[in-house]
A = this chain, B = another copy of it.
Amino acid sequence: MSANPHVVIVGAGFGGLACAKALGGTSAEVTLIDRHNYHLFVPLLYQVATAALSPADIARPIRRILGKYRNIRVVLGEVVGVDAARRTVRLADASTIPYDQLVIATGSQYAYFGHDEWSRFAPGPRTIEDARWIRAHLLTAFERAEMCRDAAEQARLMTTVIIGGGPTGVEMAGAVAELARHALARDFRNIDPRRARIVLVEAGPRLLSAFPQSLADYATQALERLGVTVLFDRPVQALAPGRVMISGETIEAGTIVWGAGVKASRAGAWFDVKLAKDGRVPVAADLSLPDHPEVAILGDTALVRGRDGEPLPALAQVAKQQGQYVGKRLAAALSGSPPPGPFRFRNRGNTAIIGRNAAVFDFGWARLKGRLAWILWAIIHIYLLVGFENRLRVGVQWFWRYLTYERGARLILPDNAGTCRPADGSEG
């Protein structure tokens, strides 16, 4: 490595940000590139989608987070390719940025099993735009049902189908049920939102396949207590606007939400490597690319196996630990320290929230469920939110919601066609 090597990090999610922080204040020149100007706390997006939080509550400007490190530069831009031979990354505006060390932390995206067109009418809570769209769509469905005179159409509008019984699906189903049963309950005259139908469709025999059976059973019961219909062994055969076809049944739905699985970002295609089936890049024990030790890949885009030989899951805590690891490894090389051993994942506990006083927590050595798990979940998530103001704001809102069952962010905003201004309006 040269005296002041240029480290380029692509992606300011949990992994990229942790890597940048670990390199803050070192002699490396760091450039962090992201498509957005904010770091987003994706695990809480379902709360934006269900009107509990505002986008700004769970997002923070990347510049602000890293502002104190004078050796880190933040670039707002979209990386579209890498020239590994010349050591440059290519941005969407055709400019290139050279690197000495490259860190790929580009995360994952929803997988629609080859039916990408389904994303148009069945988005998942993955980006702020998705979450706001789901929120607007869900609330508009109730508004339309209130106006509607046709009983069948009214029933359709008040039906929400959530596809996928993983943590996202479970959390969305619980949050939609609480929105309808509590926050909206008394605000309509012609419909009773408490009679809204919420259906959670799972292709396999159980919910939360990454959790122990006992916690999955608890989640199913807790959802059913909230009035959610949970369907097992029903793979989705087809989706159409307002309609879900599952084995032997068609469900008419006002809102469809996707939570059925993720695949790696497209970054794997930038390198001459054989990818795993879900698009992940197999990496060495130090998270570098076998043929390119100057490239590290981490988080949801990397295929890393745990001690049990199974691939590590696509979780924030995995990405964060890998980001810290790569940052420290690069810093050690800079200072001439010995390199750290291979990356080891430390499980901080896997969690999913079903609703008020109902969550599951799996630490491996211990399992929690119910109110205690829910309180622990809330404390940990408030602590994890970047920025003290965000913590304070979210804390206040959750506490308020706990007392009143209200939802503060019930806005229907037309993020769409006619009323949208072109972002570059003033640039011609």
Interface residues, chain A, with chain B CB atoms under 8 Å away: 36-38, 54-57, 59-61, 63-64, 67-68, 70, 73-77, 120-123, 128-129, 133, 136-137, 139-140, 143, 146-147, 184, 186-189, 241-242, 253-256, 387, 389-390, 392-393, 396-397, 400, 404, 406, 408-417, 419-428
Contacts and interface: CB of A to CB of B under 8 A. Distances in A.
A420 B416 contact: yes
Given A255-B426, A416-B423, 18 more contacts: A55-B413, A56-B411, A60-B410, A63-B188, A73-B189, A76-B140, A122-B426, A129-B420, A133-B423, A137-B425, A137-B426, A140-B423, A241-B426, A389-B400, A415-B415, A415-B420, A416-B424, A420-B420
B137 A412 contact: no
A321 B60 CA distance: 40
Between A61, A123, A241, the greatest number of chain B beta carbons within 10 A of the residue's beta carbon is seen for A61
Number of copies: 2
17 contacts: A36-B412, A37-B139, A37-B411, A37-B412, A56-B411, A63-B184, A64-B187, A70-B189, A129-B421, A133-B421, A133-B425, A242-B427, A253-B426, A255-B426, A393-B393, A393-B397, A415-B423
Contacts of A387: 408
Contact of A426 (B121, B393, B425): B121
Contacts of A129: 413-414, 419-421
Contacts of A415: 415, 420-421, 423
A29 to B, nearest CB: 11
A62 to B, nearest CB: 9
Nearest to A143: B76
Contacts of A184: 63
Contact of A147 (B76, B408, B420): B76
Contacts of A59: 411
B389 A120 contact: no
A342 to B, nearest CB: 35
A249 to B, nearest CB: 18
Contacts of A411: 37-38, 55-56, 59, 61, 128
